[in-house]
A = this chain, B = another copy of it.
Amino acid sequence: MGRPREFDIDEALERAMQVFWERGYEGVSLTCLAKAMGITKPSLYAAFGDKKELFRRALERYTEGPADYGMRALEEPTARAVAEAILRGAVRTTTRPGGPEGCLGVQGALASSEVGRPAHDMLVEWRNSSALRVEERFQRAVDEGDLPRDADPRRLARYIMTVAFGIAVQAASGLGRDELQDIADTALECWLPNRTRD
């Protein structure tokens, strides 16, 4: 009941995600955000609450959209394939032609003032929980005999995630897709035996 909204809330959120991805949390004002979303500030406020709530929604959308390679990678059959999928996904996502360079989870709010703290904390948690899921997947690989019994899942997961985050930083520094894939390949060269590079 009542007057229906004149904008598509999903499309508006998509725009918001793009802008946050490109400029970070504190790097965008509500005014700029509203303009990019094609709506006015009150509409934004009514539909999404405040700025940090909008950011949370955008981060959620990012996780299930551009960064869904993370979840899908965990379904690969071997630890090696998981690692490959993560790094390959990181390369592709941080250099996708349509979108901003880099990773929202890294760019968003690495450093922040007090007002940027909510986004900062969300992203720290986002990065750490990602690493944790990879670790759990690698633990399963050890249990299954896919990884050697003496392998350290946490250490391997942290290594892969570190390279992935480093790739995001390098993408923000202007490196291209091929160069980043080279880096990913280098990181994988030392990985356990069954190399299956495409």
Give Cα A110–Cα B183 distance, bound, in whole angstroms. 20
Give Cα A50–Cα B26 distance, bound, in whole angstroms. 21
Q: A9 contacts the other chain (Cβ, under 8 Å)? A: no
Minimal beta-carbon separation of A182 from chain B (angstroms):
5
Contact A102:B113 (CB < 8 A) given known A124-B173, A169-B162, A191-B190:
no
Which residues of chain A from 89 to 133 have a CB within 8 Å of any chain B CB? Answer: 102, 106-113, 116, 124, 127-128
CB-CB < 8 A to A183: which residues of B? Answer: 155, 158-159, 162
Complex interface bits, A146-168 against B, C-beta within 8 A gives 1, otherwise 0: 00000000011011011111111
| B169 engages A182 (CB within 8 Å) | no
Q: For the side of the interface on A, what is the size category?
A: 35 or more
Contact A28:B113 (CB < 8 A) given known A162-B163, A182-B158:
yes
| A112 engages B170 (CB within 8 Å) | no
Residue of B whose beta carbon sits closest to that of A170? B162
Residue of B whose beta carbon sits closest to that of A128? B173
Minimal beta-carbon separation of A197 from chain B (angstroms):
14
CB-CB < 8 A to A127: which residues of B? Answer: 169-170, 173
Contact A22:B162 (CB < 8 A) given known A174-B124, A182-B155:
no
CB-CB < 8 A to A128: which residues of B? Answer: 173-174
Give Cα A174–Cα B126 distance, bound, in whole angstroms. 12
Minimal beta-carbon separation of A171 from chain B (angstroms):
10
Kindly name the residue among A26, A108, A128 whose own CB sees the greatest number of chain B CB atoms within 10 A. A26
| B190 engages A189 (CB within 8 Å) | yes
Residue contacts A-B, CB under 8 angstroms, 8 given: A24-B110, A26-B27, A155-B182, A155-B183, A159-B186, A162-B187, A164-B166, A165-B165
Q: Spell out A's residues near B (CB within 8 Å).
A: 22-24, 26-29, 32, 102, 106-113, 116, 124, 127-128, 155-156, 158-159, 161-170, 172-175, 179, 182-183, 186-187, 189-191
